[in-house]
Structure 1
C-alpha cells in the first residue's frame, strides 16, 4: 500500500468546489492505496508520503511567497511532489510561454510599468484586447476591453498593484465564441478533452457577473492534438536542458489550452500546476488518472 496525499487548500480559499479530488481519492482507495486530502499551508509530515499530488491549491496566487516557501521546504524534506517543484516554479509565471518552442502562442506583450501598458494600448488603434496578470488563476484580474476603454488602464494599474506584470493580448474572436479547448495529457498520453465556453464580459468582468465555466467533453481535432503534443514535447526538452528530473521530463498531468482560428491552432496556456481535470464531467478519465498516480508511486 502506498501513502498518497492529494494537495488542496481550505474550502473558503478555493473559491469554488474541487469536483476532482473526492472521486480521485475514492478511485485510489479502491486500488488499495492509502490516500489523504491535505491542505498545503498546514503542517503535515510531507516526507512520509510516497507521493504528493497537487490538485487544488487555488489560493497560491494570493499567497505566492508562502507557496514558493512551501515548495522549497518540500524539496529540502525529500518529499516527492507531482508535478515537481522545479516545473511548478517555472509554470507559476505565465512568462513561461516565452520558453516554449515549436508552438504558436497567442501574441503577448508584457509590461512592468503603467506607462508601458498605456503606450501599448494606444498603439493598437481600436482593437479589442485582453489584459491579465502573469501570475493568476481562474481568470482573476482578467478583462476584455476595447483598447481605448479607460477601464483597461484601470485594470492594468490593479494588476501592477497586485505585484505581477501585465499581459496584453489581442482578443481572439473564437474564444468569445466559446471555441477554447482543454486537452488533458496524463503520463504523456491524451486522456480526454473539454470545451470551455466564453467567460469574459466585454468591458470588464465575467459573463453573467460571476466566474462560470461551461464545460463539455469534446473530441479534439488532429491539429489540436498536434499542438498539445508539441507543447508537452517542448516542456520535456526544457526540463532535460535545465536538469529538473524525470518527473518534470514526463509530467504526471498537463492541461494544454488551445483555440483553433483561421490562421491555425494557438496555444493559450500549458497548465502544469493545479488544473481542474473535470473528472465529474468526464468520469471515464478517473481510472486513467488514478492508474497513472499508482504507477508513479509504485514504479
Structure 2
C-alpha cells in the first residue's frame, strides 16, 4: 500500500507576511504520515501539483493543499488525473468540487443545516444585495469571496460601506451579518473523522480582530463541548451530502444556536496534535476499504 499525503507546493498568495513557524502549519501532515507508516503503509508527502507517476500510488489524501485557492481549475484537473490513474482521492472528488465554492453554504441551508445567514452579492449588480442587507437590518457585516481559504479576502465592514466593497471586488462575494459571539465566546471547530466526532477546538481572534485563525494571531485550544452542543453537531453532520473521511465544522453561536461559518472538507487544519489518538483515527479512516 502506497499513499501520497498531498500538500501545497507553496503557501497561498494571500500570505504576504512572515509566519514565525511555518513548519508548524504542516504538523497534521507529519502526524498522519507517521500514523500511516506505523500501520505498515508507505506514506510520503507530495505536492498535489507534482509531476508524479500517480499509478504508483493506491491512495492520495488531501491535506495541506492550501495553494489551490490560487489555481482552482488546475487543482481540480490534477485531482481528476490522479483519480483516472487508478489512485483513489480522499476526501472524494465530488465532495472536493462541492466544497471548493462557498455556494455549498447555500446547499447546507437548503438541507436544513443551521448556517449563519448569507446573501450572494454580484459586483456587476450590487443593488439586490445592498437592499437585502438593509431589509434584514444588518449593520455590521462580514464579506468573503466565493473561493478562499484561511480567511483570504474576508473583511469586516459596516453596511454603509458595502457598495464600495462590491465596486472593488473582482468576483462574487457572500455577505453575512457579523456573529458577535466570535469576538468573545469565539468559534468552535468540531472535527469529524470517519463520520464520527473526534475532538473540538475553541478558537478566538486576537484583540481587535474578528478572524479566529492562528495565522492572524488568534488562539486555539482543545475544548470539552457540552452534551447539547455535541447533539447539535451530530444532527448537523447527519445532513451532510457526502461520506467523508474527515471534516472540520466551524460553528459560532448565532441567535442562541450553533450555526455553521464554514464546513471544511478539502484541506482543513485538524489540530491532530491537540487530540491524542486523532492521527491514528485519521489513518484508519482514510484506509477504510483499501484492505490495508
Q: TM-score range by the shorter chain?
A: 0.7 to 0.9
- 1: CA distance, partners of 2:273 / 2:43: 19
The aligned counterpart of 1:216 is 221
The aligned counterpart of 1:244 is none
Measured after TM superposition, the shift of residue 145 of structure 1 is 1.5
Measured after TM superposition, the shift of residue 296 of structure 1 is 4.2
Bigger mean CA deviation after superposition, 33-42 or 72-81: 72-81
**Alignment counterpart, residue 104 of structure 1, candidates 114, 127, 131:** 114
The aligned counterpart of 1:286 is 279
- 1: CA distance, partners of 2:245 / 2:46: 19
Cα RMSD for the two superposed structures: 2.6
**Does structure 2 retain, via aligned residues, the 8 Å contact 1:132–1:141?**
yes
Measured after TM superposition, the shift of residue 273 of structure 1 is 0.9
Match of 1:140, SS state, is coil
**2:148 is the alignment partner of 1:143:** no
Question: Going by fraction, where is helix more abundant, 1 or 2?
Answer: 1
Match of 2:205, SS state, is coil
**Does structure 2 retain, via aligned residues, the 8 Å contact 1:256–1:271?**
yes
Match of 2:156, SS state, is strand
Measured after TM superposition, the shift of residue 207 of structure 1 is 8.9
Q: Residues 210, 192 of structure 1: CA spacing in aligned structure 2 closer, same or farther, 3 A cutoff?
A: closer
**Does structure 2 retain, via aligned residues, the 8 Å contact 1:102–1:230?**
no
- 2: CA distance, partners of 1:34 / 1:173: 46
- 2: CA distance, partners of 1:259 / 1:58: 23
**2:259 is the alignment partner of 1:266:** yes
**Alignment counterpart, residue 20 of structure 1, candidates 14, 19, 28:** 28
- 2: CA distance, partners of 1:129 / 1:192: 30
The aligned counterpart of 1:49 is 57
- 2: CA distance, partners of 1:208 / 1:270: 15
Give the structure-1-normalised TM-score. 0.83
**Does structure 1 retain, via aligned residues, the 8 Å contact 2:211–2:218?**
no
1:89-238 equivalent positions in 2, closer than 5 A: 89-100=97-108, 101-114=111-124, 115-116=126-127, 117-121=129-133, 127-148=139-160, 150=161, 152-158=162-168, 160-161=169-170, 163=171, 165-198=172-205, 201=208, 211-235=216-240, 238=241
Structure 2, unaligned runs of 5 or more: 16-21
Cα deviations by residue, 1:115-142 (Å, 9 ceiling, x for unpaired): 2344445556571110111111000110
**Alignment counterpart, residue 67 of structure 2, candidates 59, 74, 79:** 59
Structure 1, unaligned runs of 5 or more: 239-248
- 1: CA distance, partners of 2:259 / 2:246: 20
- 2: CA distance, partners of 1:212 / 1:133: 21
- 1: CA distance, partners of 2:81 / 2:215: 36
- 2: CA distance, partners of 1:111 / 1:200: 29
In the comparison of the two structures, how many residue pairs are matched? 279
Match of 1:141, SS state, is coil
Give the structure-2-normalised TM-score. 0.85
